[in-house]
């Protein structure tokens, strides 16, 4: 690492150290004042902030009358499901009236669950097949990765919570591959969603070494940050007070995430549960797992390791139970509520619980400085589902949220209701446009939305 007094640090300055056995640590740093050329700070931070894009998917729709505000515009009241987001009102846009037309049957019969994930970010109706000849469409996260993801070490980051490596047939007439990912690099190439926080952490901060060597490091509880202590001290000497504080806060955050991953690994290794295939690094606790994955995304944004992420908070046909909120039945079973008020209330609890985890992520982005604002100011996060009322397997009206300021291009504090059955693809085109990526058409889009 090199820097010259009175000259700015390179934006891609790293802390580097070798852990031994060929394993190299490379810790990226957040945007610092010292990285902005003298006399250009205002232009660099205000006129050209780096935007981040995040896409979060939840299956099985929502209880729409407990999701959708009655009033449109700025004077809406928060519904029971969305109540956890009230502190972030000014950075929240609720989107109503859209449909995922590509997820509908279109003559292919059943299989709605299989069509949801691949159409969410592509607007393309997946080919009905149980074989390897899967076909859907390139998703907008990968369109963005081609344009704005090439300036970062990772063009994009694909994450999940539940096993997304299933093979065979998972729904009527459809390959499991359709349920495994919301990110498609091409019409025939879904990208794997990584569920192991340790693997993600090492993808962000570690490189080199064999799997056996990395495992040995885990057993020794080796710390990536401990290995760069000397480099950190050298860097801090040349920074101003504000940058020193920012680096210290950032590295404390990295260390806390590392500590939580190590704790999860110990629990997994010492568990008496008969689940030997459980990957090391995956917490037994669902909320801890979800929060770790959200923290890793925020960390990757902060260090500019990637500006684009996709995250499946659950997969279709999820059998996860939620005893911690009084829902011991599997999510998918609850979603087929049969209009039973008791089961509808339980589905609303699950919807609200997922939104509570989303609020955790939003708060993390809001509390993380980035240039002249925060990560929340400079992000566009889409949260939602390709299904509406899961009891009917319909795809209109969708529960959708846009979060963040899009570097000044997205105005929050609104509930926007569009003409009924407007394609979600129109919104996908608009999201790209706010990142400076202009597409005449995405999937079955017919134009752009004023968002």
- Res 451: pLDDT: 94
- Record the tokens describing residue 349, joined without a space: 């609890």
Task: Determine the Cα–Cα distance for residues 256 and 292; give it in Å rounded to an integer.
Answer: 10
Per-residue pLDDT at 348: 98
Nearest Cα to Cα of residue 428 among 154, 99, 177: 99
Q: Compute the C-alpha angle 361/364/255, nearest 5°.
A: 110
Q: Is 390 helix (H, G, I), strand (E, B) or coil?
A: coil
Strands 373-374 and 369-370: antiparallel
d(CA 279, CA 197): 10
For the chain, the structural domain boundaries read 1-45+198-281, 49-195+304-451
Give me the DSSP letters along 199-239.
HHHHHHHEE-S-HHHHHHHHHTT--TTGGGHHHHHHHHHTS
Predicted pLDDT at 292: 94
Q: What secondary structure does DSSP assign to 383-433, as a single string?
A: EE-S-S-TTTT---S--EEEES-GGGT---SEEEEEEEEEEHHHHHHHHHH
Yes or no: say if 264 and 281 are a contact pair by the CB < 8 Å rule: yes
Taken as a whole, the chain contains a residue count of 451
Q: Which CATH architecture has domain 49-195+304-451?
A: 3-Layer(aba) Sandwich (3.40)
In the block, residue with structure tokens 């209109």: 396
pLDDT value at residue 20:
47
- Residue 22 φ then ψ, to 5°: 85, 0
Helix intervals (H) in 28-82: 41-42
**What DSSP character marks residue 44?**
I
CA distance 207 to 352: 38
If DSSP codes are grouped into helix, strand and coil, which group holds residue 190?
Answer: strand
Tokens of 284: 């037994």
Closest CA to 180 of 338, 353, 316: 316
In eight-state DSSP terms, residue 442 is -
Confidence (pLDDT) at 164: 74
User: Which pLDDT score, from 0 to 100, does residue 3 have?
Assistant: 40
Assess contact for 95 and 402: CB atoms under 8 A.
Answer: yes
Distance between CA atoms of 113 and 392, rounded to whole angstroms?
A: 12
In angstroms, the CA 181 to CA 142 distance is 13
Instruction: Provide the pLDDT for residue 13.
Output: 62
Binned average pLDDT, 10 residues per bin, the chain of 451 residues: 48 56 61 63 55 97 98 97 98 98 96 97 97 96 95 93 82 93 97 93 66 50 64 77 79 78 64 42 89 95 94 96 97 97 98 98 96 96 98 98 97 97 98 96 97 94
Q: Is the dihedral of CA 240, 245, 249, 251 positive or negative?
A: positive
What is the pLDDT, as a whole number, of residue 190?
96
Q: What is the pLDDT at residue 45?
A: 46
């Amino acid at each position: 690492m090199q820097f010259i007094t009175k000259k700015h640090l390179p934006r891609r300055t790293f802390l580097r150290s070798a852990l031994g056995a060929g394993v190299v640590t490379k810790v990226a740093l957040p945007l610092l004042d010292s990285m902005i050329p003298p006399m250009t700070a205002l232009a660099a931070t205000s006129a050209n902030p780096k935007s981040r894009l995040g896409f979060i998917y939840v299956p099985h729709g929502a209880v729409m009358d407990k999701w959708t505000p009655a009033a449109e515009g700025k004077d809406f009241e928060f519904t029971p499901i969305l109540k956890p987001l009230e502190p972030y009102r000014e950075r929240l846009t609720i989107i109503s009236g859209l449909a995922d037309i590509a997820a509908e049957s279109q003559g292919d019969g059943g299989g709605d669950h299989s069509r949801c994930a691949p159409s969410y970010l592509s607007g393309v109706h997946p080919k009905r097949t149980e074989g390897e000849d899967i076909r859907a469409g390139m998703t907008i996260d990968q369109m963005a990765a081609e344009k704005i993801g090439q300036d970062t070490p990772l063009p994009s980051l694909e994450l999940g919570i539940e096993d997304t490596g299933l093979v065979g047939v998972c729904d009527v007439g459809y390959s499991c591959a359709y349920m495994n990912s919301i990110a498609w690099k091409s019409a025939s190439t879904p990208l794997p969603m990584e569920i192991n926080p340790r693997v993600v952490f090492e993808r962000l901060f570690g490189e080199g070494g064999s799997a056996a060597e990395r495992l040995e490091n885990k057993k020794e509880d080796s710390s990536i940050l401990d290995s760069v202590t000397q480099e950190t001290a050298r860097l801090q000497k040349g920074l101003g007070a504000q940058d020193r504080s920012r680096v210290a806060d950032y590295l404390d955050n990295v260390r806390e995430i590392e500590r939580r991953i190590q704790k999860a690994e110990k629990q997994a290794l010492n568990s008496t549960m008969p689940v030997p295939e459980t990957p090391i690094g995956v917490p037994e606790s669902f909320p801890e797992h979800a929060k770790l994955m959200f923290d890793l995304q925020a960390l990757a944004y902060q260090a500019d390791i990637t500006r684009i992420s996709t995250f499946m908070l659950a997969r279709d046909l999820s059998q996860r139970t939620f005893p911690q909120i009084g829902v011991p039945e599997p999510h998918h079973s609850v979603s087929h509520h049969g209009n039973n008020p008791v089961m509808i209330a339980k589905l609303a609890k699950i919807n609200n619980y997922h939104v509570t985890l989303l609020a955790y992520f939003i708060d993390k982005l809001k509390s993380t400085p980035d240039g002249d604002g925060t990560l929340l100011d400079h992000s566009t996060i889409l949260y939602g589902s390709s299904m509406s009322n899961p009891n009917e397997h319909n795809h209109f009206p969708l529960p959708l949220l846009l979060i963040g300021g899009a570097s000044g291009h997205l105005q929050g504090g609104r509930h926007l209701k569009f003409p009924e059955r407007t394609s979600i693809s129109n919104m996908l085109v608009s999201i790209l446009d706010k990142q400076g990526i202009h597409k005449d058409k995405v999937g079955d889009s017919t134009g752009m939305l004023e968002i």
